[in-house]
Structure 1
Amino acid sequence: MIARSLVLLLLFTLSACQPGDDGLALQADYLKRLNGALDGAGVEPFDSKRLAQYRLPARRLRVSEISDIRISLLDLLIDVRRCPDLQLLISERNSILGKQMQPSSRLGYEGDLLRAIDACRAYLQTQPDQSLNQTLATLQAQKRYQLLQVYWNALNASPEFEHSLRFSQQALPVSATRENPAVQALAQLAQVGSQLPQQLPPATAQLDPLFFTLQADQQAPQLITSLLSLTDTLEQASALLEQRLRKRPLCPIGKPTQRARVMQNIFVKYYAGSLQPYLATVSQQGTQWSETLLQLASVEQIPPALDTYLQQLAGTEDSLWQGFQAANNRHVKAWQALLKSCAMAPGQSGWTDQP
């Protein structure tokens, strides 16, 4: 437990040392160039205060009370020689450290405990007196019934899980990779939940690396920020393109003009050459991230506050993810319409891919 706390402290310290926000800078530069070339009335910088709408609900709204079913070695009178693992686990839970066990550690512990009960009952079934076996069977059923509550508390009360669902003050960096190990770790945790209570949770030694991966990650929080900032950037950029095409077409007679060539240069160099690769990274990460959040939301007994939040982030209607996709599609269509109006779209006579 002490080692885990030290790791978390180190990760928090490292996360405080952040480079410049080149993701937001890229978006601001694109908007500025587009606005200037189209003689726009100006653009608004991204307001980070808007991220507050994606604030993770308070822990007290996501964590539930679980009846504490304690096991006494004196009550069970377990034969230490025949059920050593169960005896050890019960002693561990009743120790001072065991009583302070973190919720995420308790999930693995409960899995180990139920496996030990299975092993002990297999031995007890060969004994004449079945009273202890029946007591353990009742305990086993009660513990299995609580597994989903234990699972959700393990996630919702862990700083690692909370970190992965909180927005960052920075957008995803331009150099970000398209695969995020933290999303894969979250997907594995979601799979654990989907298999409960029929399949027992893994041991703590297998679960801890997943939680550490969530805490070490900066990209999932940055992705939330990028999705909102890009939605804002793309909506403003699309409005500029659509307004110019509607009010003052660049090519009144449908043939390329000098101003249209400037716009084509912006399209090739700053949209296709700079912004679009960034959009592709965000889109690929976002696809995996949103699918994982919906997988997590499908686990039974999810606390309503968390379910609402996950739908707000990744749901199919009015979510952050859906808004980004809609803004991206709108922007592609806006560029297509403008370039086609000047016979400069890919495949038309005026097209060139050279800036």
Structure 2
Amino acid sequence: MYTKPHILLNTLVILLALTGCEPNSAKRSFNTYNDRLANVLDTSPATINDDELEAFPEPRDLLLPVEDIRIDLLDAYELRKCGLFNLIAERNSILGKVQDKTRQLRYELILLNGLNHCQETLPDDSEVLPMLAGFKQQKQAQLAHHLWNMFTTEKEWRQQLTIHHQPFELGLFYGFDESLNAFNHLAYIQQHIQAGTSIEEKQADRLIKHQEQLHAHHYFGQLIFSIQLSTLWLDSITNMLEKSESALICGPNRNQQQAEYLSNVFYKFFVNKLQPYLAELDSQYQQISPALSELLNPDHAKNQAITPYYEKYISGELHDQFRQATLKHVSFWQRTFKRCNIKVGIH
């Protein structure tokens, strides 16, 4: 049977609209787990209050000053002999003066690589060599600030660090690979900057590719929100369970029905749905935090505006709370199963 195109289109629009209205699967799973446990225990479900999260600082508070140092084009003309003149002329053009911070960092890295090449290839008696040495020293000293400014104030990069108030869906962690690769690449560049060694042009070019790939994501800010929300839920649900612990009658020669019902809820909603989600949050944080720890270290950047954010999310304070909440929750079930003589893993 033939279906008119406009009918198919209208149906698709309706389906997409309905899908967009569906509650987040992580939120739904925590809510359902909470409600089912409360129902078995005949108590009120736990509630959570969204804590105010430490915001990523504003660009004006993070931006580090960088003096605009340019080479005179009359001197730069001599650099035709080592292939650097066109690069400098392009940077001094109208378009070059308005490039974004990612392209500016790319230019600075390629420029330093070119300066090294010129120092190695120009004749020893070249009049521009002393000028090149001073210019290179100044540019090298600015590189760390260029990297910091790009990462913390450029839209696509800071978008990854700004808190995104929507948790990841169960099993869907969009942006992880893109962010991990990008942050690791920036850490690689930072290591070379700190060591005073040059970056190959193809490695500088990768900055643009990473910037493009990050455009659609809010990865780390979403990871932080997911960990925070999970911590709040775990603490609240565990607190509800512990308050009802003494009223749970089970064990040898006791009616096990309530304990069995609780066990069913635990396996169906926590073990099968929430535990894999929590484990993935933990794993991804551990993989991505080392690079961020280097890139956002307040002592390296000489910018203390980042300190509260860094201490809460990068150095591990929130992650420690998340792990403690998970351990406390699992510990309740371990001692309950032991007391009620319910075999762990048999369901």
Aligned residues of 1:103 and 1:153 also touching (Cα < 8 A): yes
Residue of structure 1 equivalent to 2:165: 169
Q: Distance in 1 between matches of 2:289 and 2:118?
A: 42
Aligned residues of 1:290 and 1:321 also touching (Cα < 8 A): no
Residue of structure 1 equivalent to 2:12: none
Q: Distance in 2 between matches of 1:163 and 1:79?
A: 39
Shift of 1:127: 4.5
- Give me the TM-score of the superposition, normalised by structure 2: 0.85
Residue of structure 2 equivalent to 1:99: 97
Residue of structure 2 equivalent to 1:13: none
Change (3 A) 1:127 1:315: closer
Q: Distance in 2 between matches of 1:63 and 1:201?
A: 24
2:335 maps to which of 318, 327, 337:
337
SS of aligned partner of 1:67: coil
Residue of structure 2 equivalent to 1:189: 186
Residue of structure 2 equivalent to 1:294: 293
Q: Which amino acid aligns with 2:226?
A: S
1:109 maps to which of 104, 107, 111:
107
Aligned residues of 1:108 and 1:201 also touching (Cα < 8 A): no
Runs (4 or more) in structure 1 with deviation over 4 Å come to 252-256
Q: Which amino acid aligns with 2:190?
A: G
CA deviations over 1:293-340 (Å, ceiling 9, x no partner): 223235833532224312211324xx2212111111111111112211
Residue of structure 2 equivalent to 1:155: 151
Greater mean deviation of Cα atoms: 217-226 or 168-177: 217-226
Q: Distance in 2 between matches of 1:107 and 1:277?
A: 39
Residue of structure 2 equivalent to 1:223: 223
Q: Distance in 2 between matches of 1:254 and 1:224?
A: 46
- Give me the TM-score of the superposition, normalised by structure 1: 0.83
Change (3 A) 1:19 1:191: farther
Change (3 A) 1:345 1:19: same
Change (3 A) 1:201 1:153: farther
Q: How many residue pairs were aligned?
A: 323
| 1:33 equivalent in alignment to 2:36 | yes
Greater mean deviation of Cα atoms: 202-211 or 327-336: 202-211
SS of aligned partner of 1:313: helix
Q: Distance in 2 between matches of 1:120 and 1:56?
A: 41
Shift of 1:277: 1.7
Residue of structure 1 equivalent to 2:10: none
Residue of structure 1 equivalent to 2:177: 180
Structure 1, unaligned stretches of length 5 or more? 1-16
Residue of structure 2 equivalent to 1:352: 346
Q: How does 1:1-355 map to 2 (within 5 A)?
A: 20=22, 21-45=24-48, 47=50, 50=51, 52-80=52-80, 82-84=81-83, 86-124=84-122, 126-128=123-125, 130-176=126-172, 180-197=177-194, 198-201=196-199, 203=201, 204-245=204-245, 247-251=246-250, 255=254, 257-298=256-297, 300-301=300-301, 303-316=303-316, 319-346=317-344, 352-353=346-347
Report % sequence identity. 27
